[in-house]
Homo-oligomer: A and B are copies of this chain.
Amino acid sequence: MKQKITIKTIAKELGVSTSTVSKALKDSHEISIETKKKIQAYANLYNYKPNHLALQLRNQKTKVIGVILPKIVHHFFSTVIMGIEEGANKKGYNIMVCFSNESYKKEVETLKVLSNGSVDGIIMSVASETLKNKDFNHFKELVSEEIPFVLFDRVVDEILCDKVVVDDVGAGFKATKHLLENGRKKIALITTPNHVNVGALRRQGYEKALIEEYIKTDKSLIVEIDETKDIKKQIEKVFEQDIDAVFAVNEIYAANSMRIAKEKGLSIPNDISIIGFTDGLISEYSSPSITTIAQHGFTMGQQAIEVLIERIEKESEVYKPKKIVISSDLKLRESTKPSS
């Protein structure tokens, strides 16, 4: 890289001190107009840009927010990023995005890198492996260092920090209720293993809705997908039973379910109804289009960055962690019949 022009260069070249240059560039009243003009002209000519690193070191802040996501090729998470980025930019922050790839080890490493002063605060969603291990020491350490820190979507309750989540229980309830109102009785649930808490919560909502209708949960209707194996095959099993609806906790499971239903010659939504989660492109563009729970990722991102920046900029106050719950909506499409 080309040698950058610094305040020192300007000072030497113009025969003044660095303080004078610094003040002149800030248009300080301490400096005479001629000197300012001369310095500013020179700076402009050589395209002087203040070195951010030096400023960061002096100000003890970076104006950068670290974001750690389990994955990115994923509609929900990329929407959240958008929300975070928009909010961050508005307040003059940039974001540094990293991925854990659902791995505990990578999550720990990434967190270590980010927490050494590279960022002013961190927003993250927990890797599934971490949720499974239940090893949260890296989070505890972060909290004890008092680094501003917010968790979203996949959060861990025992960590005292700000959190932004969707009302997963409510969403699961809404989805199931809608199917019941369609007259469905044998509703399959395609979900994640129970350690992924959002999956567990959506399941609670599912069960709650069934109980309200005096239907006993039938464990054989519940499939916990192991993502390391063939997803479609796992879902196919539940189709061997006599089911009339599917509630899938994400788009991929919903899309797979629909494909299986079609292959079995079932008509959607006449013979079987399908509801997904995450209002992504698959749900929108498949045919029939899929009724889903819209998670409002963008809003989540916005909320997360908002509380984080507040935490960063008003670090005086007593620390009382906030939990923000974003409500989710049922987005009706063609894969379910409208409730009667």
Contacts and interface: CB of A to CB of B under 8 A. Distances in A.
B52 A54 contact: no
Given A78-B72, A95-B98, A2 B287 contact: no
Contact of A287 (B96, B147, B287): B287
Interface stretch (A36-44, A110-118, A156-164): A110-118
B72 A62 contact: no
A73 B75 contact: yes
Given A1-B145, A145-B1, A50 B116 contact: yes
Interface residues of A, number: 56
A81 B74 CA distance: 12
A267 interface: no
Contact of A116 (B49, B74, B256): B49
**This chain: copies in complex:** 2
A280 to B, nearest CB: 8
A148 interface: yes
Contacts of A99: 82, 85
Given A49-B115, A97-B97, A259 B281 contact: no
Interface string A50-82: 111110110000101000000011110011011
Contacts of A252: 281, 285
A181 interface: no
Given A51-B117, A75-B73, A147 B1 contact: yes
B62 A73 contact: no
A282 B146 CA distance: 42
Contacts of A115: 49
A1 B148 contact: yes
A81 B95 CA distance: 14
A115 B57 CA distance: 17
Interface of A: 1-2, 4, 47, 49-54, 56-57, 62, 64, 72-75, 78-79, 81-82, 85, 94-99, 112-118, 141, 144-148, 251-252, 255-256, 258-259, 262, 280-282, 285-287, 315
27 contacts: A1-B145, A1-B146, A4-B117, A47-B141, A47-B145, A49-B115, A52-B116, A52-B117, A52-B118, A53-B56, A53-B62, A53-B117, A54-B57, A57-B57, A72-B72, A73-B79, A81-B97, A82-B99, A85-B97, A94-B96, A94-B114, A251-B281, A255-B285, A258-B287, A280-B281, A282-B282, A282-B286
